[in-house]
Structure 1
Amino acid sequence: MAYSDVTIVVDERDDLFYTRAALQAHRPGEGRVTVQPTPASSSPAALAHDMLYGLGKRLAPGPNSPDVWLDSVNTAWLAAAAWGVATGVRHVVVPRAHLLTIRRIDQLLAWRESTGAQLTVLWQKAPRGLPPALARVERRISGRDQFEALLAEPGPIPARPSFPPGPPMAGPAAAAVAAGQSPARQPRETRAVSPRHGRPAAPCTGAMATAQLVQAAPAIEIASEEAADLAALAHPLIAGALSVLAFTRADLGSLRFTRDLDITGDVCAIKLHGVGHRHCPLHAVPAWARPLLAGARAHHRLATRPPEDGVFAPVMVAEARHLRAHARRLPRLDLSQPASALVP
């Protein structure tokens, strides 16, 4: 099998030019990421952690870290693939790939297959040592000019997914914003009512259908520093769940049953569900949270779970301790109390 979107850069003399060029090419905002493998790490998930770090994610430190579940190879690579898809990564450059084990090279190629991104690996020793998986790669370059031209290529997918502006506000909330005031806080659970007919919307329809009938409740504002803290969380489901709690202050039971189809395609609105579907409010998703919910949805789909399943179910039940631990690490958001109610 040949890999059309994989390139081997042969740097047999270990020329510092190639390493410098790779590091300078790191521009996540343009969809190009340079991943530096941690030298001599024996952790099976080390390269996945390096990928997460290159994507701007930071694992919580310490032996009792809430990110300890990312020590699992499959879990860590699934998280890295979800973030790659959600943030529109189009080109990943990996220097010093000759130091990677065959197993880690296979993991890297599998990640590329999941995300559709272009992959460039710098093999900084004699090419006769290439493992079979890389020896099958058709595109191989060895000149400075070729490498610079490669880094200038646009890549196979857009640099960023499109996140259009959120749905417009109407009524008292819009008037408050126009007057320079914060919109009034919405009730935790409000009945989804059609403004045209004055009757409840269908309780189990997805967000797209509901958005045609009801106005999304405006998001609660948070400080940019708090949004940055949430964006740095390594696991997409943790980041997505805590972001929803932050901008909705929703009941955790509602979040527990939020499905893939409860997030609109443009990630501008999310629908939550009350007990018995008596109250199923629609919330506008602020711009800072859209990549985080896109990551949660990508994680759900890469795990091949059906759209009717709860997106956040894995962290709301079996792994609730990790969600609670991360909530406590973000005291400015004051999420520790609601998160503590996740399990008895």
Structure 2
Amino acid sequence: MALVYGDMTIVVDEQDDLFYTRAALQAHRPEAGRITVQPTPASSSPAALAHDMLYALGKRLASGPNSPDIWLDSVKEAWLAAAAWTVATGVRHVVVTRAHLLTVRRIDQLLAWREAVGVQLTLLWQKAPRGMPPALARVERRISSRDQFEALLAEPGPIPACPSFPPVILATAGRAAGGARHFAAWPSRGAQPTSPGRRAHPCTSALATAQLSQPAPAIELASEGTAALAALAHPLIAGALSVLAFTQAGLGGLRLTRDLDITGDVCAIKLHGVGHRSCPLYAVPAWARPLLAGARAHHRLATHPPGDSVFAPLMLAEARHLRAHAERLPQLNLPLPDSLLVPLS
């Protein structure tokens, strides 16, 4: 059975056969581009299914009444975060178990998310299909045998996880940077080579700067710290804290970082000094690339232009969440002076 990305399949399991659930759980391989989502039963949170998606993607929300992840209680923010991580990590096939327990509203949320990220979606409907909502009843592709389900999961459709973004974004970025489609391949006129980590031509893209200078090496981090950062649920928080951790730069340098300041392969990032008197380029360590890819995907899915600051939402009212997460990770020793952040109280 040939599968095309973006397809939607409903697996009808009227007898609630344990085989289907077990096969779906065994198919969960994020590194191969496939995840299995298990909806939390009887959760009243409007964003519960998005939280389940984040959990399947390896993200963990901080708990507690004053949680720094409280902004992910918003349905829009939670699904945007789930979409960003899905795109950034290269997930192409998502299997959702016990879809018959989802409300119509959550099914609509799931279908809107699928449209945004273009994944192949498989739903396990583990009861008679008579009560299927219209949005699902119209789906033509249904299977109802073990062999068909095994074949579906065995297809090579899902690709290995890697950051990927539509080419149109790069074309848009080129126009915003000065009209040239391949803006980053050409250094600005008059720019001079610089030593590693030093300033290049003000406001050029990271890739243009990389043509002229070597990025400063990243500061090494213990595996405990990188694992904690990788588990953060919000892409902007994870991306911002990872940059602060491997550069030990001040928050001010991150404030003006644009989409254009992250190379396409996420191997280098450019920060900006006041008045662009010092705009250093840093190498991005391998562990941080998926986190920065998630932050950039979040920026693009929110339809921000490439010249806008990627981390701008953190620097205003939401800066308290950034600081709260930083305080939860003291082993990172992050340079976050209170004067640059909104007070927690």
TM bracket (short chain): 0.7 to 0.9
Tell me, yes or no, if the aligned pair for 1:217 and 1:284 is still in contact at 8 Å: yes
Give the C-alpha shift of residue 335 in structure 1: 2.0
Match of 1:160 in 2: 161
Match of 2:115 in 1: 113
Rounded to whole Å, the distance in 2 between the matches of 1:340 and 1:60 is 25
Rounded to whole Å, the distance in 2 between the matches of 1:340 and 1:47 is 37
Listed as ranges, the gaps of 5+ residues in structure 2 are 165-190
Match of 1:248 in 2: 247
Deviation per CA, 1:249-282, whole angstroms, max 9, x where unpaired?
A: 1121110000000000000000000000000000
Rounded to whole Å, the distance in 2 between the matches of 1:110 and 1:301 is 17
Rounded to whole Å, the distance in 2 between the matches of 1:219 and 1:200 is 16
Match of 2:53 in 1: 51
Worse overlay, 51-60 or 247-256: 247-256
Percent identity over the alignment is: 81
Give the C-alpha shift of residue 159 in structure 1: 2.2
Give the counterpart of 1:88 among 83, 87, 90. Answer: 90
Give the C-alpha shift of residue 117 in structure 1: 1.2
Match of 1:230 in 2: 229
Over 3 Å counting, the alpha-carbon distance change for 1:307 and 1:330 in structure 2 is same
Deviation per CA, 1:62-104, whole angstroms, max 9, x where unpaired?
A: 0110000000000000000000000000111001000000111
Rounded to whole Å, the distance in 2 between the matches of 1:46 and 1:162 is 26
Cα RMSD (Å): 1.8
Over 3 Å counting, the alpha-carbon distance change for 1:340 and 1:243 in structure 2 is farther
Match of 1:326 in 2: 325
Match of 1:151 in 2: 153
Match of 1:183 in 2: none
- The code of the aligned residue for 2:331 comes to R
Tell me, yes or no, if the aligned pair for 1:324 and 1:336 is still in contact at 8 Å: no
Alignment of 1:239-318 (within 5 A): 239-318=238-317
Which secondary structure does the structure 1 equivalent of 2:38 belong to? coil
Tell me, yes or no, if the aligned pair for 1:259 and 1:311 is still in contact at 8 Å: yes
Rounded to whole Å, the distance in 1 between the matches of 2:123 and 2:47 is 19
Tell me, yes or no, if the aligned pair for 1:327 and 1:339 is still in contact at 8 Å: no
Match of 1:138 in 2: 140
Match of 1:36 in 2: 38
Which secondary structure does the structure 1 equivalent of 2:237 belong to? helix
Alignment of 1:96-107 (within 5 A): 96-107=98-109
Listed as ranges, the gaps of 5+ residues in structure 1 are 164-191
Tell me, yes or no, if the aligned pair for 2:218 and 2:247 is still in contact at 8 Å: yes
Which secondary structure does the structure 2 equivalent of 1:111 belong to? helix
Over 3 Å counting, the alpha-carbon distance change for 1:54 and 1:340 in structure 2 is farther
If the length of structure 2 is used for normalisation, what is the TM-score?
Answer: 0.87
Tell me, yes or no, if the aligned pair for 1:193 and 1:200 is still in contact at 8 Å: no
Tell me, yes or no, if the aligned pair for 1:94 and 1:120 is still in contact at 8 Å: yes
Deviation per CA, 1:191-240, whole angstroms, max 9, x where unpaired?
A: x96149xx963201110100000110000000111100000000000000
Rounded to whole Å, the distance in 2 between the matches of 1:263 and 1:287 is 14
Rounded to whole Å, the distance in 2 between the matches of 1:340 and 1:239 is 21
Over 3 Å counting, the alpha-carbon distance change for 1:4 and 1:116 in structure 2 is closer
Deviation per CA, 1:149-199, whole angstroms, max 9, x where unpaired?
A: 1011122x5321169xxxxxxxxxxxxxxxxxxxxxxxxxxxx96149xx9
